[in-house]
Amino acid sequence: YLERYYISETSFNGSEKNRQLLIDPSRGSLDQSRRFLTHPFTVAGERWKTVTDSWNICMSTQTSANLLFWIEKHTEMWQGPISVSVYTPDVDYTIAVKIISFLQTCIPAVRQRVSFHFSYPHKLPPVYVTDDDKNDLEYDCESIESVNEALVDKYRTYRLREILRKQPYPQNILRNIARKGCPNEYTFTPDVDMLLTPGMSDEINDFVSLNSTQSCTKCAFVIPTYEIHAIVKTNPANKNELRKLVKQSKARGFHSRVYQPNQGNSNLPRWESQNMDKKLDIMYNITSWKKSWEPIYIAKADIPLYDERFIGYGFTRSSQVYEMHIADYTWHMLNNAFLCHRGFQTSKKKDTLRRMQINQNSRRYPMFLKEVYARYNKSAEEYEKKTKVHSILNKYLEEIPENKYSPKTRHPKEKNLLKI
């Protein structure tokens, strides 16, 4: 199957000219920082209204163009509506258009119930590359990840690769875009490479439809996330299978080696101690609180948005969760549901630019705290006690012996970051 077939037989309706005009940069909406433009529903699911009307919950996620292949896997595990924001600067727009076209052709569920929203820096507007050599790529619906990789290799330029490597990724802006694309009563926002188990989406939809669930307006229902070792070829299908993998050291809590506070407040040993129950329900209430907690959860869609001042790595999820904590949300661990992340995360994978971004966001965090306490008329002393804001951050940054980097030290390469 050739690119010409897949591109022409999709909802993008054919011609190169039409595909170039999917979005008009002069009509995009700017974010609060006025650095990023967004085009909601650049590509809308054909049955979007029907699907969103029939479900009480919508999944939202965000991604760059090179990871769009994960959407196929999400449609296998999530039977409801999916709202996806895609980062499309420069020629990554070309990659996104082509892989979404391909996904829609190969996967009816993508065409019917997934909507895509494009966003990019206004100084890096979308570029569509018109091909002269139509038949140079052979596409196979059984190899979507490989097709995605081939498109990136073909179109992403060295210049753009360097910009993407150095420029912080606006994940909170993208998370908010995707969430705002969901009209449903409940929201669920995993990262694009975090997958549920088969059949769990229907159980989740049934759970949030219960009167007992809906009666709690400030409840967040936590879904634990696990890293699955690369030697495991198929994700566990249920909790019982996951527990076996944990005992075999082939699965572990997400970021448990890289950054333990990520799931530190979830009490995963307690969750792992019990077998799978007959139906989805609350297993226990989480009454403790630990800073820098980043649970993936289900909640009513009127929860606080992600704070968009946090760009790149550090504080992006935890700041939003902390605001919910200050706003008096309660946290409840679900018994059977969990998310799978491919591969074990290790601290060796963290580079200097990532530490630099964490450092930059750490400087923004004290002002965020002041604003949140004022917004909810709460006392900082009541929540902070004697814990310093950066105590956990310092430990995180210094745990890698080969390149200790204090948040008080400005890295010499920081001044060379490309500004967009």
Q: How far apart are CA 69 and CA 192, in angstroms?
A: 9
**Mean pLDDT, residues 148-177:** 97
pLDDT of residue 180 exceeding 80:
yes
Mean pLDDT score across all residues of the chain: 87
pLDDT of residue 263 exceeding 90:
no
Q: Quick one: pLDDT band at residue 389, thresholds 50, 70, 90?
A: very low
Amino acid 401: pLDDT: 41
pLDDT of residue 137 exceeding 80:
no
pLDDT of residue 253 exceeding 70:
yes
pLDDT of residue 383 exceeding 90:
no
Amino acid 238: pLDDT: 98
- Give me the DSSP letters along 169-180: P-HHHHHHHHHH
Q: What is the pLDDT of residues 100-120, one digit of tens each?
A: 999 999 999 999 999 999 999
Joined together, the tokens standing for residue 263 give 């799931």
Sorted by where each begins, the domain ranges of the chain are: 13-176, 193-420
**Mean pLDDT, residues 327-343:** 97
Q: Quick one: pLDDT band at residue 132, thresholds 50, 70, 90?
A: low
Q: Quick one: pLDDT band at residue 361, thresholds 50, 70, 90?
A: very high
**Mean pLDDT, residues 78-97:** 98
pLDDT of residue 71 exceeding 60:
yes
Q: What is the pLDDT of residues 52-68, one digit of tens each?
A: 999 999 999 999 999 99
**Mean pLDDT, residues 148-167:** 97
